[in-house]
Every structure is written in C-alpha cells, then in structure tokens.
Amino acid sequence: MRFFLNPFNLFWLLMIATMIIGLFKKERLFRWLFFSTVVWFLIISTPFLPVSLLNSLEIRYNPIFPEEAFKGNSEIDKKYHIVVLGGGHGFDERLPPNSILSSQALARLIEGIRLHRQLPGSKLVLSGYSSSGRTTQAERLQQTAILLGVEADDILLQKEPANTWQEAETYASTFGNGNPVLLVTCASHMHRAVRVFEHFGTKVTPSPACYRILRDPRSRRSWIPSTTNIDRLRIALFEYAAILRDKLRMKRKNSERN
C-alpha cells in the first residue's frame, strides 16, 4: 500500500508503461499514456495540490506557548507529561546521538525540550522502539535530551511502541490519566495522533513541530516543479490513508467492546 501512496512511484509506473507501449508502436495508447504521465508529473511536482493537502493537516493546531497560554492561572504549575513521539533514527558509532536522529525526531525533541523548560516539574516522555533490536528510538532521544541539558530524572521512556497506535496504548496503560499531557509530533501527523490518544482515553493538548509549510506572506510561491512538492504530497497522502485506517480500526474496536 505504501508503494502506491508514493506519487513518484506512480509516475515511474506510468513512465515505464509509456515506454513499453512505445516499443509495441501502439501510437494512440502511447500518446494517451505520455500525456497522462506529463499531467501527473505536473500535478505532483507543482505546489497547488501538495501544499493544499499538507497544509490542511498542519493548520489544525498551533504550538503551545505556556507563558502565554497559562499566564495568571494555576495550569502552569501542574506536573505535565510532555509526550514526544518517535520519528526515526539510524546507527553510526562515529556520531553523537543528535546526529543519528532523523530531522523529524530532532525537531520533535527540541519542541518537547522547549515546553519542558517553560513548565517546572514537567517530565519528558520519550517514545520509540528499535526494529533491529539495538538502541531504541526512545533511548536515542534520551541521550540527545541529556546532551541538551535535560536532567535524566525528568525523562521517562517508552521503548516498546513501534507506531502511533502502540505509543498511545502504551502510554494509557503505563501512566493512565494522572497527569495532564502535552503531545508533541510533526504538524502533519498531529491530527491522527490526537485521535488515537483520545481513543485510548488520554486527553492531550497538542503542540506540533517540524512544519513543512511555512506561511510567510512576503514569500512568493514558486510554480517550478520540484521534488519537495512530491515529498509533501507523499506525506499528506500517507497521513490521510492512515487516518482512514485508524478510524476503521477504532470503529471495529468499539464494536467489539459493545
């Protein structure tokens, strides 16, 4: 399924089909496929559709600024759990932990640390497993957080979850609802993450990170085809497909309970 959700893969399939049909000299079908390939490339590589779809996910929530949101009330004194979802990492013994984290994971962690600095008594809950059985995502996030000045006692780990569903389920079963939760993940992923955490009974306040669409009114949008737009569309398509999958999964789980 992931293969067909990647718009660039579909472009190459169309390109290969066009070349094959060209070899068999099916001129009418060749022209139709060639035209479809060009149109598809322009759709996925120019900004209108990729930016519109991705922005529809990223605009749903804004980052939290505790000094403004909680100014003058007791909310800022609560013992928050700042849940930072895993975002990928690699392995290279030459490099420090921060260089091994993916750009998404590092952006999420920095957002979590920003909130932690402004919320006395808060805990960072760092999440993520390792598919290879080596150092987990949660541990790499922990190592980087400590390098950036976070006290080890202020960090809690979830080393077993492999995806958002498992992260939400593990948090609910491990920590329950004893603490207010700030949820940190990529802006494009936040809508799905909030729904999944709420499905498991955890009410969260979202604080998204790693925005891919920056709304600068002074900048002009370039209509030159680019791989950046293809990647934006890939991310948006994957997220919408995952939202639908999780919605069906929640519906099935609820019917099983009843």
SS3 per residue for 95-154: CCHHHHECHHHHHHHHHHHHHHHHCCCCEEEEECCCCCCCCCHHHHHHHHHHHCCCCHHH
Amino acid found at 23:
L
CB 5 within 8 A of CB 237: yes
Q: What span, in angstroms and rounded, lies between the C-alpha atoms of 56 and 225?
A: 21
Q: What span, in angstroms and rounded, lies between the C-alpha atoms of 249 and 20?
A: 40
Burial of 217 (0-12, 13-18, 19+ CB in 10 A): exposed
Q: What span, in angstroms and rounded, lies between the C-alpha atoms of 146 and 183?
A: 20
Look at residue 218 in the predicted model and tell me its pLDDT. 63
Q: What span, in angstroms and rounded, lies between the C-alpha atoms of 64 and 97?
A: 26
Q: What span, in angstroms and rounded, lies between the C-alpha atoms of 141 and 135?
A: 10
Q: Which residues pair with 158 in a beta bridge?
A: 127
Look at residue 193 in the predicted model and tell me its pLDDT. 96
pLDDT tens figures, 184-228: 999 999 999 999 999 999 999 999 999 999 876 666 677 889 999
Look at residue 92 in the predicted model and tell me its pLDDT. 73
Look at residue 149 in the predicted model and tell me its pLDDT. 94
**Parts of the chain with a pLDDT under 50:** none
Look at residue 66 in the predicted model and tell me its pLDDT. 85
Domains of the chain: 2-57+227-257 (no CATH), 63-206 (3.40.50.620)
CB 197 within 8 A of CB 229: no
